[in-house]
Amino acid sequence: MGVGMSQVSQLSNRAIAPLAFLAPQQTSYTANPGLTYVYTIGGDKIAVSHIDGDGNMVPLSQINVAKEPLFVLFSHGNADDIGTCKSYSHYIAQTTNSIVVNYDYVNYGLSTPGETSELNMQQAITAVYEYMTQTLHIPSSKILIMGKSLGTAPSIHLAAKDFMDDILGVLLVSPLASGVRAVVPDRMVKSNMLNYLDNVFCPSMHYISFIRVPVFIIHGKQDNVINVKNAEILAGALHKAAYYPPLYLHGRHNDIEMNNPETFKSQVQAFVNTCFSTQRARNDDGEGKTSLVEY
């Protein structure tokens, strides 16, 4: 699916990368027992951490997969690494009663230095997902894919794969519909040119239609980095099997959780429980693969 779009996107990446990827100038964390490293198909080393509900970076050896109801595979935003987003990962772990697995892209944190690209972001999240399912032996039915801002692009790309139909669901916070729509107002570009430019970088609006599990989109109505219209485009492109009512909240790009703490938390929890219910309904015997999350 989307092979042509991906090729166009990769050809253009070298020109776009300096504008699209703004990794922290200094790594915000150091090597510690809570870190794991995985390798992508392209040979890049990717730093991975596991955050529990107490905010601890949990060493791989301490994870009891059978006792954990949920794992969130989280892709962070453009200017973060897994150190700067530790508190946010803790917040998500508490909110969803989960272990949050987050990772750094190429040139972020302690991952391989070099040039970040759309392709190696996609390879990174795929390597982390394979590590979760093949090394940790986490059932795909216990995995929720979550992305924030730029991190929604690899999240959508992975969730759109044919082999992802058994994951629990997808949570997207402040997503971009495509690279161009994140930065260029519609009125400034003719529609035929805009449709072409969508394919140049992170064409999430095309990939998202292939997802077949529930997708929850949350976006700030006053977002001054990625206009809320991006979320509306993505919600409009969802397949009926994936549709879950989007949530548009008062806030900008990085403060919707802070401005709407109770609403954000309760709505995310409701979504997770809906995902478990949907998953149980798909089983012939009516029994779920996992239990509903208790809050």
Contact 205, 180 (CB under 8 A): no
81 classed as catalytic: no
Which residue, 36, 131, 19, 145, is CA-closest to 78? 19
What is the number of other CB atoms lying within 10 angstroms of the CB of residue 21? 20
Query: Which token pair is 295?
Result: 């809050």
Annotated catalytic residue within 52, 80, 198, 223: 223
d(CA 128, CA 17): 22
Q: Is 12 assigned a catalytic role?
A: no
DSSP secondary structure code for residue 254 in this structure: S
Task: Tell me which of 149, 155, 178, 204 is the catalytic residue.
Answer: 149
- Helix %, strand %, coil % for the chain, to 5? 45, 15, 40
In angstroms, how far is CA 237 from the centroid of its own chain? 17
Catalytic residue check, 165: no
For tokens 């935003």, what's the residue? Answer: 77
Task: Give catalytic residue positions.
Answer: 149, 223, 253
